[in-house]
Amino acid sequence: MNNCYSCRLWAGEGVRERGPHGICHRFPPVVTDRYPDGKFPRTLSTDWCAEWRPHPASEPERDLEAPEWTPMEAEPLDETTELMNKAIEAYRRRFPHASHAQARRAVEDLIDRKDD
Ligand code: SF4
């Protein structure tokens, strides 16, 4: 399952670093009034985001004899994903202490309430 627990960018806390909380290292620490030195987002092992990355051990091995190896191009974001990212950014500007995952849940809750 593609969640924080299985993401190579996540450092789990707790017993044997399995969570339930952990630190996401996708982006540099975020500086806020509360954390003027910066702090990485803290997420639950069951959280996820579109930046999920597989662990190196699960990636297929490269053929070093192959003449050329090029990473896949990132696909452009679709309109819905871009709008979601803008809403999450807006939420985090309004609530700078919210983690990315918290902001995402808050935006999803707002969307769910609007659909009712
Ligand atoms: S928030 Fe995204 S990038 Fe960060 S650990 Fe979770 S899945 Fe990985």
Q: Angle CA(92)–CA(74)–CA(103) in degrees, nearest 5?
A: 15
Q: Is the pLDDT of residue 111 over 90?
A: no
Continuous segment of H or E residues that includes residue 10: strand 10-12
Whether this model's pTM surpasses 0.75: no
The β-bridge partners of 12 are: 22
Give whole-number Cα distances, 43 to 5, 28, 78, 110, in Å: 10, 15, 25, 20
Per-residue pLDDT, 107: 87
Q: Is the pLDDT of residue 109 over 70?
A: yes
Per-residue pLDDT, 23: 96
Q: What's the 3 CA to ligand 1 centre distance in angstroms?
A: 7
Contact 18, 39 (CB under 8 A): no
* Sequence-ordered strand ranges (E) for 25-106: 42-44
Q: What percent of the chain has pLDDT over 90?
A: 34
Q: Mean pLDDT score of the chain, rounded to an integer? A: 83
Task: Collapse the DSSP code of 23 into the 3-class scheme (helix H, G, I; strand E, B; otherwise coil) and give the result.
Answer: strand
pLDDT digit string (tens) for 23-67? 999 999 999 899 999 999 999 999 999 999 988 766 665 555 666
Per-residue pLDDT, 17: 83
Ligand 1 proximal residues by C-beta, below 6 Å: 4, 7, 9-10, 24, 26, 43, 47-49, 51-52, 100-101
